[in-house]
Amino acid sequence: MFDREGLRVREQELQGQIDSMLTTLDRQTQDLHAAQHQVAQLRVSGTSADGLVQVVVNSVGGVVEVHLAPDAFRRSTPESLGRAMTDAARRAGEAAHAESMRIMGSIVSATETVPDLPDLVPGAPSLRDFLPPLEPDVRVLPADPDPDDRDDGQWNRPLLRDGWQ
């Protein structure tokens, strides 16, 4: 009735595939942790078009440092210096986002090419469900808020969950 030897061979093949997948998942998890550490340490700078301001941000665009040219106050007005700060921060934020995506993108793309448990065993849980999402949950504030509304507390709350700053 049953081909016991055939079943045993098939079981060994499946076990080998599962072991290989688990080894790959372990390596990818280690790679993911390394990439997350690299992103957490990331610092990127952006310079305003007029060269008066340089802003350094972390991986999610949080301002870490602001540097002004020595003659910034002589060469500029407060309004244009504010615009230069905004420009430099925007440039730095865009560069930080691009670099974070570059670092994490290779990890995510690698996980998409590896077979998953449901590919081998219908109904099995996906190993991909155990990987964290690529981007944190970001809450967006109004793009051009009224300066008089800044005291309502929304400007003092963290923008990202789980302490990502």
59-102 confidence digits (pLDDT tens): 999 999 999 999 999 999 999 999 999 999 999 999 999 999 88
Alpha helices in the chain (DSSP H): 4-41, 72-75, 78-113, 117-120
pTM more than 0.75: no
d(CA 7, CA 76): 80
DSSP code per residue over 117-154: HHHHSTTPPPGGGGSPPSS--BPPPPSS--GGGGGGST
Residue with tokens 């992103």: 39
Domains, the chain, ordered by start: 4-131 (3.30.1310.10)
Residue with tokens 């507390």: 153
